[in-house]
Amino acid sequence: MLHQRQRWSVCALRLFDLSRHQALAGCAITQTMPYSKLPKLMPPDLDNTLKTFLEFAQPLQTYQDFEKTKKLTQEFVKSGEAQTLHELLVDRAEKLNNWLTPWWLNIAYLQARTPLPIITSPGVAFPPLEYSGEEGQIATAAKMIQAALNYHHKIISDHLPEDKAGKVPFDMSQYKFLFGTTRVPKLVQDEIVYGASKPKFAQHILVTRNGHTFYFPVYDQNDIVLGTDVLEGLIRDYVIPNSQTRVSHPVNLVSSDDRDTWAKLYEKLKKRNPQEIQAYEDALFILSLDSQVPVNPDRNRYEEQMRQQLTGGGADENGINRWFDKTLQFNIGFDGYSGLTYEHTPAEGPPVANLMDNVCSRFESNTFVKESSNEPVDVPRELKFNVDQSDEDVIAGSAAALNRAAFDLEVRFLSFREFGKNVPKKAKLSPDSFIQMAFQVAHYRLHHILPPTYETATLRKFSEGRTDTIRLPNPVSALFTKTFVDNRENQSAKELAKLFRDAVTSHKNYSVRAMLGQGIDRHLLGLRLIASEKGIDAPKLFSGDAYRKMTHFRVSTSQVPTRFVIPMGFGPSAPDCYGICYNPQEDAIHFTLSAFNSCKETSAKKFAAELERVLNDFKTLLEDSGDLSNAKL
């Protein structure tokens, strides 16, 4: 049985050649998964969008301002502008497989000139692994390489089970974009180069240590992934001895800077060192061997771990190891704390989280192949770039900018273990909506402001679908939030619980609507973009007070569930915003919260403490009202 398992592991790691669409040669493998043909995303009903726009605008405005918004909306309809733009949008949708995604990739990602760390590129943290020191780091790195490539082969051979919400199938295309993909910096608009679009996937990764970057082969001459013994030996013999000191001017630091600054240097590097840049763009992923970081009494180990994934801790720590353009970068810490930095353009969080879950399962089962079937296809070599004094000045400027950004970011981790999804489920409430209402109340208690809140709504029920927005507050949620905080003592438990249930239900109903392609945010964006594309003046609705307030999020959230405790984190989307990623499990809820230190109004530490109180208050409310009286918790 052991022999069969090892044979299966080796066979499953054979390189898959996309240009010939060959099966994994010589392997008795399970049948490929037949993925569903999904419907096309179409623009939602115009009248419903504008009616719902007003519903979401009302809690954010004064009576006088809301009256102006209603008038602007009426003029938008009566003038014929709304219908004209909607019909143009429908025409676009009929011609394209997905009317939204190409625009979304450009607007949300490729045209943005802001730096990738913190705002765009999330960080993901593995559970603590049992290793420490250089030898433990090397052994873990070898296993990480093999586990990641095992998942890569499942993706490209269509052996992943189809993601579903209940019985509804999800689009699986984002998985194909994870490996070998690079966001290439360009002036005005970046370019995304997918590994899956090339005739054949590369046979190498890049390994970074102390700012040194190495071309690193991961397959043998039989197109099979190298065994962990050989991978360890290559790291030990080639990487470690040639990266003992820190590089003074690592060019990859500039990938953390604004996109135009990086694009200018990148173009120069491509002309001077074309082979090095090609090796970077083609690499399946990057693996960083990070240095030990000093203990900070203000951060626990999990918070420091997330900080390393988001920024590398700055240029003075492990930021010199990061190439932020690569979709996947596994960061192996020195002391058992590892994770991943991922560039967001090609994929949303769930495919990356599933990759991480799969890697954790491999470590848990310890199913790794030690021996190789043949010699490596190549030997590692350091990628060295020719830089002049002006380039060194740019690198120094980028280093300073990354240090400022890392210093400005506050990251907190809250592992709430009083209960998890079990309590809202017992009360027949949506766990996600329960948690979102906790964000509303926590923010209102701290700031006495109803926060415009973004939550990711997946559109993967549609072909090539990405996301829309589930938003709060709405009139029903606003009524509960204000009553619970400002007028709680004048309400009975049953009255308050009724308001709470109504608020949770209103959020749940809109969540379902948004994930069915009936949300308002992407529809309104589409109307604005089609006007620009056709040379039509932007409607006044989009410069109004309501639209401005609704698109300035004070709380930006995303739920990314995993089987293991694998926190994901990202930075705030605005200076006065909180970034919150959460993972609800049956008996616990894990939160990664972020804020900017430079904003004196916000504090992730205070928000985490208030959030914990609110969640317990919600449970007490449900107990006092009798909603949990028959529940066995």
Given a contact cutoff of 8 angstroms between Cβ atoms, the answer to whether 310 and 569 are in contact is: yes
Neighbours of 304 (CB within 10 A): 21
> How far is residue 478's CA from residue 147's CA, in Å, rounded to a whole number?
46
Question: Sign of dihedral through CA atoms 251, 256, 261, 262?
Answer: positive
In degrees, rounded to 5, the angle at the alpha carbon of residue 169 between the alpha carbons of residues 165 and 174 is: 100
Question: What does the alpha-carbon distance between residue 437 and residue 111 come to, in Å, rounded to a whole number?
Answer: 33
The DSSP code sequence of 2-17 is HHHHHHHHHHHTBPP-
- Identify any residues that bridge with 286 across adjacent strands, giving them in sequence order: 206, 329
The partner residues of 331 in beta bridges, in order of sequence, read 288, 339
Sign of the CA dihedral with 523 first, then 527, 532, and 534 last? positive
Taking a C-beta distance cutoff of 8 angstroms, is the pair 47, 523 a contact? no
DSSP state of 396: H
Looking at the annotation, which residues are catalytic? 344
Cβ count near 157 (within 10 Å): 20
Place of tokens 């040669």: 25
CA dihedral 136, 138, 144, 147 (to 10 degrees): -100
User: How many CA atoms lie within 13 Å of 510's alpha carbon, on the beta-carbon side?
Assistant: 29
N-terminal to C-terminal alpha carbon distance within the chain: 42
Q: Among residues 173, 44, 183, 22, which one has the least CA distance to residue 100?
A: 44
Strand residues in 544-608 grouped as ranges (E): 555-559, 568-569, 578-584, 589-596
Q: How far apart are CA 226 and CA 148, in angstroms?
A: 12
